[in-house]
Amino acid sequence: MNKQVLLQDLGQKAYKETWDYQEELFEEIIALKIRNRREGPAMDTPNHFLFVEHPHVFTLGKSGSMENLLANEAQLKARKAEFYRINRGGDITYHGPGQIVGYPILDLDNFFTDIHKYLRYLEEMVILTLAEYGLKGERSPGETGVWLDVGTPFARKICAMGVRASRWVTMHGFALNVHTDLGYFDLMVPCGIKDKGVTSLNVETGRRDIPLEEVKQKLLRHFAVLFEAEILQEKTGV
């Protein structure tokens, strides 16, 4: 089993361009798995982890409802935001500047074949990272992602998650609000959940100087421990 994970930080990149790149890596891994089973000898399947920061964009998962997008085309254009229907699980999500988006594209045959465990590990990676900033991140029963003050009237989401998996290969991932413009969440019903708010790391800590790179390194450190993975840094992205 190959537990090496190739890290690429794509910097700021358009959503559709990044989605196409994810699909390319995803399909390459699946094609190799099919070849290994049909022909042999088996070749190690690669694992990838992409970091990216998107321009303003709303994405709707395959189980989501258009009713949860509260803006029309003209309003989105006025806010310089795009919209895409995509093939991950979950409902509507916003991505934008100041948010860390992570896309692990892993062959779970290299780690463990349990998609629920995979999601819980991604949540735990974020929970452990938030703890380093003095915040108690939690899971909310029946709702994927990481929250604060679960079970109270002040429950709010700080990290959204939505993944796709086929033949135990994953794509899409998580979006952690660091110094995100939370005003964009007013244009949607976040993740289709009407009675809970959204927050960010800078709001919760009162700090506006938290570098994204610092948070990324904490996330990676916890990811490596949880998945028993070796992170290999690639200097340039696509």
Chain segment 128-173, per-residue pLDDT in tens: 999 999 999 999 998 889 999 999 999 999 999 999 999 999 999 9
**Per annotation, catalytic residue among 86, 146, 163, 191:** 191
Q: What was the pLDDT predicted at 194?
A: 55
What lies within 8 Å, CB to CB, of 231 at 6+ separation is: 5, 7, 49, 220, 223, 224
159 is annotated as an active-site residue? no
Q: What was the pLDDT predicted at 197?
A: 87
Which whole number is the average pLDDT over 12-25? 97
Q: What was the pLDDT predicted at 190?
A: 60
195 has pLDDT over 70: no
Q: What was the pLDDT predicted at 237?
A: 47
State pLDDT tens for residues 29-67. 999 999 998 987 778 999 999 999 999 999 988 777 888
Residue 113, amino acid:
T
100 has pLDDT over 50: yes
CA 87 to chain centre: 14
Give, rounded to a whole angstrom, the gap between the first and last alpha carbons of the chain.
Answer: 26
238 has pLDDT over 70: no
Distance CA 146, CA 174 (A): 10
Pair of tokens at residue 115: 């998609």
Residues 48/105, Cβ–Cβ less than 8 Å: yes
- CATH (residue range 4-234): 3.30.930.10
Q: What was the pLDDT predicted at 154?
A: 93
pTM surpassing 0.85?
yes
Lowest mean per-residue pLDDT among 27-41, 99-113, 214-228: 27-41
Residues 146/198, Cβ–Cβ less than 8 Å: no
